[in-house]
Structure 1
Amino acid sequence: MVSGIRFESVSVAYGGQTVLDSLDLAVEPGEVMALLGPSGSGKTTALRAVAGFVRPASGRVLIGGRDVTRLPPHRRGVGMVVQQYALFPHMRVAENVAFGLRARKSVPKSGIPARVAEALEMTGMGGYAQRYPRELSGGQQQRVAIARALAIRPDVLLLDEPLSALDAQLRSGMLAELARLHRELPDVSLLYVTHDQVEALTLADRIAVMDRARLQDCGTPQELYRTPRTRFTASFVGNANLLPVTVGRGGVVLEGLALAVDTGPAAPGARATLCVRPHLLGLGDGPNALRGKVAEVQWRGSTHRLYVDVGGHRVKADVPELRQVPGPGTEVTLHFEPRDAVLLSAEVGDD
């Protein structure tokens, strides 16, 4: 069965405080949707509303076109993976994976071993069925948790910060494994909650950016990174220089400096914010030159990050590793191509 998820004006409140405010969002069948945002943004509440662990104060949640708003969790056809694995320490791996199948009684007892073996093979844990969780690494325990969620053959898979307890190297490997799993399960929709932009950019087909209980933006990783719609999106999805400017004719003005950029429908004289990604700034003369003094330099292996004071604004530039590194106080020139800047309304995302 191919199922998607739809939120229709879903609001959730705790103790009179709205923690999810009128969410309208559709996760297409077979799509990976990341809910990305800081703590308290409403992303986990949205996921729990799909799982059935919180009941909306208003609105509807649909899975595969079916209204599940009032259904108990075990009747929704969802699998869920959480941050802390939630494995039973007294059960072997195979017993943990079988737990959901036994609880739901959706599979004959005789069919459970085959389902367990299938899920363990899919997650690369086929040889660990008789081990206890304490005998596994953190990454292996998370694979078992994923296998348990997959064993019930869910219509949708919910993942709530599933990699945050792992170190950086393990996270990278597990991201690759999740991407592989999704290729093997193209009919299963994934709703993936994270505060980590790298996870969202790497795994998701689309990203829904959440802040202060509301949906702020939604699009493909490339859309949100290259053409963010709000200041919040620009700053939360990747690094960004956000500079206050005034719209002129044929460009913008930054502290008296005219810069050639596409101003779109913005009217001359309007306040706006210019967004330029650090890696799109070059060092040396070029179009849209920004002159200033180096405040700080950070070596990052293949690149140097320069922090340059330009007209009272600190501008970040990621440039290829330098043989001669300009020290603090050195005057330098940065530049960027007109096509590499995005103009954001000063009002959108600023309140």
Structure 2
Amino acid sequence: MGIRFDGVTVAYDGNVVLDHLDLSVGTGEVMALLGPSGSGKTTALRAVAGFVRPAAGRVYLGDRDVTDLPPYRRGIGMVVQQYALFPHLRVEDNVAFGLKARRVAKPEIRARVAEALEMTGMAAYARRHPRELSGGQQQRVAIARALAIRPGVLLLDEPLSALDARLRSDMLGELARLHRELPDVTILYVTHDQVEALTLADRIAVMNEARVQACGTPRELYRAPANAFTASFVGNANLLPVTVARDGVVFAGAELRTAAAGAPAGARATLCIRPHLVGLGDGPNRLEGTVTEIQWRGATSRLYVDVRGHRVMADLGELREPPAHGETVDLHFAPQDAVLLTAGVTDD
């Protein structure tokens, strides 16, 4: 069962929080809605769940228009940030809650609860209360409860944001495994964390200011972002203001070679270079600057270099003799590793 937003607009007291959203999610696809707070991503998810009523447009699940249906008639599973488990109920009763509300027969409830707990690795905790579980375990119970009703669509609203870094990493692996085991379940995943989106999603819709800025596979958005906002929100990026020249671009007085982009000479644009593609030392597209900060990150070090008033980041492998703060260094990058962002360019 897929999801389709057809011109969906949501407004509160005249303030538009979702602006004419057109977006389709295929059956069995994981679509991440990625964006900052207030971008409209959670509102889009709530429109699918039936918790908000669009001011315009329609919401479809498969071929069924569900815009006017109450949440309980949509057959959707949902997991939210704070788990929303009932503290007085044992794990097995929390998981059974949705099935009981649907008046499923008791023998089937027992079977489905056991299946969902087994799938999420929580079978051994069926008789415990939520207070006896860790945060990661509580989140697994919330996911089991959503899966127990066997939904065609699973909505995940910032499900890992309350977990620490290690638990978040573990749960990402669990969610990826569940997706492999449930290939027909369509997942709409709301997050502001680019790692979660890049790890889990088949496609990512990048949202900002109530609109979709770009939509594509993680590789497409990372390697060839459509605009500066997408480049900065899907992975880290150096975004350098440049002027288009005949054979490349000019940045901070330096002529740089880049792949052709079709922009007219003299146009202002933005050059996107991922930090891990910037090298230290002499090479093509050399930039000279001053080290302003070094962040050691274990396997890599991030250098922040001031190039004529512009900050350039370089992620480098382990350095035996890293440059010192204030030292003058040369950076370089290959022409094919830079992406020229020409959306909205203007001529000088």
Q: Which of the five TM-score ranges fits, normalised by the shorter chain?
A: over 0.9
- Structure 2 CA distance, aligned partners of 1:311 and 1:48? 46
Residue deviations 1:203-225, cap 9 Å, x none? 10000000011110111111111
2:176 aligns with one of 171, 174, 179: 179
> Does the 8 A contact of 2:294 with 2:304 survive in 1?
yes
TM-score (norm 1): 0.97
Q: What secondary structure does 2:59 align onto?
A: strand
- Structure 1 CA distance, aligned partners of 2:6 and 2:212? 13
Aligned residue number for residue 159 of structure 1: 156
Aligned residue number for residue 325 of structure 2: 328
Aligned residue number for residue 79 of structure 1: 77
2:293 aligns with one of 291, 296, 299: 296
1:219 aligns with one of 210, 216, 221: 216
Q: What secondary structure does 1:347 align onto?
A: strand
1:102 aligns with one of 100, 103, 106: 100
Q: What secondary structure does 1:343 align onto?
A: strand
1:35 aligns with one of 27, 30, 33: 33
Report whether the alignment pairs 1:257 with 2:234: no
Point out the more displaced range, 150-159 or 310-319: 310-319
Q: What secondary structure does 2:344 align onto?
A: coil
> Does the 8 A contact of 1:225 with 1:237 survive in 2?
yes
Point out the more displaced range, 44-53 or 324-333: 324-333
Report whether the alignment pairs 1:133 with 2:130: yes
> Does the 8 A contact of 2:226 with 2:343 survive in 1?
no
Report whether the alignment pairs 1:269 with 2:287: no
- Structure 2 residues without counterparts, runs of 5 or longer: none
Residue deviations 1:178-227, cap 9 Å, x none? 00001110000000000000000001000000001111011111111111
Residues 241-256 of structure 1 aligned to structure 2 (within 5 Å): 241-256=238-253
The structural deviation recorded for 1:347 is 2.4
- Structure 1 residues without counterparts, runs of 5 or longer: none
- Any runs of at least 4 consecutive aligned residues in structure 1 with deviations exceeding 3 A, and if so which? none
Residue deviations 1:231-283, cap 9 Å, x none? 10011111110010000001001122110001321111100000001100000
Residues 7-22 of structure 1 aligned to structure 2 (within 5 Å): 7-22=5-20
> Does the 8 A contact of 2:249 with 2:257 survive in 1?
yes
Aligned residue number for residue 342 of structure 2: 345
- Give 2:227's aligned amino acid: T
The structural deviation recorded for 1:346 is 5.6
> Does the 8 A contact of 1:8 with 1:24 survive in 2?
yes
The structural deviation recorded for 1:111 is 1.4
Aligned residue number for residue 70 of structure 1: 68
The structural deviation recorded for 1:325 is 1.6
- Give 1:81's aligned amino acid: V
Aligned residue number for residue 312 of structure 2: 315
TM-score (norm 2): 0.98
Q: What secondary structure does 1:333 align onto?
A: strand
Aligned residue number for residue 124 of structure 1: 121
Report whether the alignment pairs 1:115 with 2:116: no
Q: What secondary structure does 1:23 align onto?
A: strand
- Structure 2 CA distance, aligned partners of 1:65 and 1:155? 13
Task: Give the root-mean-square deviation of aligned CA atoms.
Answer: 0.9
- Structure 2 CA distance, aligned partners of 1:255 and 1:122? 56
Q: What secondary structure does 1:182 align onto?
A: helix
